[in-house]
Amino acid sequence: MRWSPQQARERFARSRVARLATVSGTGQPHLIPVTFAVHEDTVATAVDAKPKSTRNLKRLANIADNPKVCLLADDYDDDWERLWWVRADAEARVVHDAPERDAALERLAERYPQYRRSPPDGPVILAEVHRWSGWSFR
């Protein structure tokens, strides 16, 4: 069953984790899990303090080269009648400071207690969604 954009956005916003897909300037795809917060048609995710191999993150370089991104939230169940997914096609930008970053961090802290204890100190990715789509078995 296909969902309306509003239904897809609502289901996406309730999900705890999504996957962020970016593409490099040479066309190499990159996919990572992210925590996020949704405000209207904007999805925010932050570079946080979790251990990383480098602070020069591929997702940030990819967005600088190509701002088109895709986010996916889904739920798999062995009972296939409970399957669903939501995709958000968006244009992203990286925000290092400004009131937009602070507002996004507040929304992230509302969703994730870990961010209340240890607020992200890196940049925030703001993805402006231009297409919400979703599906469920029922």
The CATH class for the domain spanning 5-132 reads mainly beta
pLDDT for residue 70: 98
CA gap 54, 5 in Å, rounded: 36
pLDDT digits (tens, 9 = 90+) for 115-126: 999 999 889 999
> pTM for the whole thing?
0.93
CA gap 36, 21 in Å, rounded: 14
Sorted by where each begins, the domain ranges of the chain are: 5-132
pLDDT digits (tens, 9 = 90+) for 56-81: 789 999 999 999 999 999 998 899 99
Question: In sequence order, what are the residues at sequence separation of 6 or more whose Cβ sits closer than 8 angstroms to the Cβ of residue 95?
Answer: 101, 104, 123, 124, 125, 126
Residue spans of the chain under pLDDT 50: none
Instruction: Order the strands of the 18-23 sheet from edge to edge.
Output: 29-34, 18-23, 68-75, 84-95, 124-136, 42-46, 37-39
